[in-house]
Amino acid sequence: MNICIFASGYGSNFENILQNINSGKIQGKIKLFITDKENCRANQIAKENKIESYTYFPKQFKNQDEHANALIDICHRAEIELICLSGYMSKLPNKFVDEFYGKIINMHPSLLPSFSGKGFYGEKVHKAVIENGVKISGVSIHFVNSEYDRGPIIAQIPINVYAKDSIETLRKKISEIEHYLYPEIISLFCEKRIILKENKVFILPPQKKKPETALLSLSNKEGLLKLAKALQALSIELISTGGTYEFLSQNGIKVTSVNSLSSFPEILDGRVKTLNNKIFGGILFKREDPKHKEEITDNLIKPIDIVIVNLYPFEKVSQAEENWSEKLIENIDIGGVSLLRAAAKNYKDVLVVSDTDDYDKLISFLQNGTDDIDFRKKLAIKAFKHTMEYDRAIYEKLSDKKGKTLDLTLNKIMELRYGENPHQKAELYSLKERLPFEKLNGKELSYNNILDSYGSFTAVNDFQNPACAIFKHVTPCAMAIGDDICSAFEKAWSCDPLSAFGGIVALNTPCDAKIANFLSKKFIEIIIAPDFDKQALELLKKKTNLRILKWNEDIRKSRLIKSVGDEFLISDSDNIVFKDKIEAVSGELNEREESALKFAFTCVKHIRSNAIVLTNETQTVGIGAGQMSRVDSVLMAAEKYRQYLKNNTKPEFLYLASDAFFPFEDAVIEAHKIGVKAIIQPGGSIRDKEVIEKAKELNIKMAFTNIRHFKH
């Protein structure tokens, strides 16, 4: 739409209109500027923006008709469709007004018909308002007719006037409303939504279209500047509150204050900012509901299409503040929570963002230009979750239950065929929204598969070298390291091939074709690795039932939760192997022996207690697990070692690791019988001295780790 501006003064409203055209809010173009004051700032603005400009003094014409004809001629030549008066001091000739009636609008700094007519303009109006003790003033936009300020009114916004207000404070409040309302009405004209019929003004309801407005209220300003610039680049108008408004304004971002929309000031030290019908009406109205559209149009409510909010940092403040302290209470967000809930409720029409991590996703969605109801739902769910957790934090702090209750929100991942046994029902839940692995092939995972998978991948990740672990019934039957993953796998398989049948193989580096080719001829339930090369995957996928898991995350730091009846045991994970340097208590260890013992102790950490492992320098050669007495686990490991020797060369040096201390010297005696040369154990028994003396007597080297690794 082609627009002509008439102005005589400073030009702040003219400048504001230009900015709104440049931002894309007003779908029009200023083709003509007319003034009656050559040296006014408004004229300078027009020239700087290369707008065709004319200066006409009414007295330069013989009569009103000559003046009118000049104006009519120039406006018709420029094909002007809308004329906006912006502080124009001269009265327009009647003939010109008649020619363009219904296309000329003016803004007046009071609620018409009050304080209107000849001589009432600008600060003269404000002075009269103050002197008369008026309690409510405001801004009016009206069509221009032949009488001063008497044309049909298009829109009005009231504001409160207080006894403490001065002419200057009133001017500022009025100016803020003017800078919001005039561009709004001009924009409606350009959209052909304002109809003048029989001297009555009708505003047509909005049509649903792409998002045009975003409300931002952010306690955490991280990423705000980048987000605001991206939204502006998409011609989205920004509306903001308090500190967010100041931050954006100071950084040169054009933003509309919430006060302008609501025509109500921020009060009670910021406790009330957005809690207003015009704000929540703009968020909650259904864009497809004719009644809703009529109501927001009649009440001059601006649609708000995007709500971006993060809340006062209550949880952070609560860590340092006493319960019920003034600062703590002031950090309970009211408006922000309400904005999030309102926007999330109206998810079909309003995008709600409560997480800074979603800023880039929002911009990508808007740039894409196509709607996605699933994306909207995800944002809404996240907002409801955020407000739920926020309310929980307040409740726990104020009720003094912080640290005394624990709420777990678990996401259901899948139903399992059955539990540990076929007669038990089972499901898999997660604290996260997705699993730490991808299943690339094979049957559905069972309850026992999941236990073994997590255990085996946790185990191999404790090794710095390429490593392989083979698990069966939640405990390793073999573990090994090597210079490369193939040698680690070959050593692990040779430890106990009988137990490896139907087991779970885990690698801590990508699986290659050589391992895949070997396993393609064996029966195993699962193979796990951080990745698989193309040929390996092709070979393994030939076994349609074989479950192939590509593991993406290190899970060793996750907390442990175990149920016992209706109670739960919660602990940190056992995610370290050694606490300090190991302490030699029998004999002196050379570098090779210390390295071998560290390998053995890393292995025993993952074996069910009471746990004993026999190793050479790089592989397990006998495992004793889950026995009620430690010496029985030594005997079990010895039996496994004898089986190992049937198909493998006897180690040059045999090492033993124990997950906990030796309560008696009997285990040392049994270890000596099978040829153990060095033992590593936590120490800490009241009989440590006796155990050490026995090791010295039998010429067995021994080291203490001073850290225990029970596993039940």
Which positions are catalytic?
Answer: 345, 473
* Tokens at 579, concatenated: 């606490």
The DSSP-derived string for 397-429 is HHTT-TTT------EEEEEES-SSSTTS-EEEE
CA distance 166 to 52: 38
Instruction: List the beta bridge partners of residue 310.
Output: 218
Cis upstream peptide for 610 (omega within 30°): yes
Instruction: List the beta bridge partners of residue 415.
Output: 427
CA distance 428 to 416: 7
Look up residue 532 and give its DSSP letter: B
* Tokens at 673, concatenated: 């019988």
What long-range pairs does 392-400 form, CB within 8 A, spacing at least 24?
A: 393/314, 393/315, 393/318, 394/314, 394/332, 397/314, 397/318, 397/323, 397/328, 398/323, 398/324, 400/323
Q: Which amino acid is at 264?
A: F
CA distance 257 to 676: 79
Angle at alpha carbon of residue 272, lines to 270 and 278, rounded to 5°: 130
Residue in this structure with the two tokens 């193979």, named with its chain if needed: 527
First-last CA distance in the chain: 77
Residues 6+ apart with CB under 8 A from 176: 257, 259, 260
Name the 3-class secondary structure at 166: coil
